[in-house]
Amino acid sequence: QVHLQESGPGLVRPSETLSLTCTVSGGSLSSYYWSWIRQPAGKGLEWIGRIYSSGSTNYKSSLKSRVTMSVDTSKRQFSLRLTSVTAADTAVYYCSRELGFGSGSYRFDPWGQGILVTVSS
């Protein structure tokens, strides 16, 4: 059974770069898309972007200028970098596997437990 675990700093200074890593266990990264999704406290879910095991990426248009994702299949990890952060980027960040690629049924399962990242000086 695939398990995902986010890791990284819980506190980031304004204007600096948020960096998170998701480690996948119980399965391979190959032939899947992997996504980052965030959720501000008390609010809804926001998809940030995704990366394929080959390294191909897609980002939410409003975040594209600040987001970079990468993948290391040998380590079973994929990563998120978000530059020039502000308080509005404070949220719980989740990583997840995308299912249904090629079928039109794009959904997320499973999800990591999430990591709270606070942007504050």
Per-residue binding string, another protein, 37-56, x by CB under 8 A, is -------xxxx--x------
Q: Shortest gap between Cβ of 93 and another protein (angstroms)?
A: 11
Q: DSSP of 30-98, one letter per residue? A: TT-EEEEEEE-TTS--EEEEEEETTS-EEE-TTTTTTEEEEEETTTTEEEEEE-S--GGG-EEEEEEEE
The verdict on 118 binding another protein (CB under 8 A) reads no
The verdict on 97 binding another protein (CB under 8 A) reads no
Residues at the interface with another protein (CB under 8 A): 35, 44-47, 50, 58, 60-61, 64, 94, 99-100, 104-114
